[in-house]
Amino acid sequence: MTSRPAPIRLVVGLGNPGPRYAETRHNAGFWFVDALARDHGARFRPENRFDGEAARLTLPEGDAWLLKPMSFMNKSGLPVRKCADFYRIAPEEILVVHDELDLEPGVVRLKHGGGHGGHNGLRDLHRHLGGPAYCRLRVGIGHPGERDQVVPFVLDRPDRDAARAIGEALDHAAREIPALLAGRWDEAVRHLHGRGSG
């Protein structure tokens, strides 16, 4: 997609609910929105009307909702759509944060549109949002090397070095949220994509 995204009004972290999954690679999206909420004094509360936990992020550059779907990764789409419908947020105003096998730990990339790449959470989002018009923050977690190892890999914890690299990348990405809320997409891309490789 070539059009410039709109200012972001909803930041969705993808993951799986419950302590069993809390520290697994597949929960990188949850890690990001949890850190955003913590850093800016926002508090997640259960929202039964869209099967998720939501928090209000208020910054000088603008306001946005933070959302963690509580429906498990492969059913993330409906909670996101319900939340977006309730607050009248267009797909182009949504940033989805997810783990990315094709990027090494420590690398983060912004993307607008495109395919789901086999990611079950994105696949369901495509279905419920009517396509790929939403924006993404791809959080590198690395690849196990073999396709049949992907599921156990994403549902396992990263080792200490990878966890540190992912955490630093998330911190770096969080500093670009004000720009994204203000609609300064090109600025955020320049800052993030100029860091690391991938």
Q: Exposed (0-12), middle (13-18) or buried (19+): which is 41, by Cβ within 10 Å?
A: exposed
Q: In terms of C-beta density within 10 A (0-12 exposed, 13-18 middle, 19 or more buried), how is residue 197 classed? A: exposed
Tokens of 171: 């911190």
Q: Tell me how far apart the alpha carbons of residues 88 and 147 are, in angstroms, rounded to a whole number.
A: 39
Distance CA 145, CA 74 (A): 23
Give the count of alpha carbons within 13 A of 57, CB side only.
26
> Is residue 148 classed exposed, middle or buried when 0-12, 13-18 and 19+ CB atoms within 10 A define those classes?
exposed
Q: Name the one residue in this structure whose structure tokens are 């607008």.
A: 112
Catalytic status, residue 98: no
- The catalytic residue positions are 26
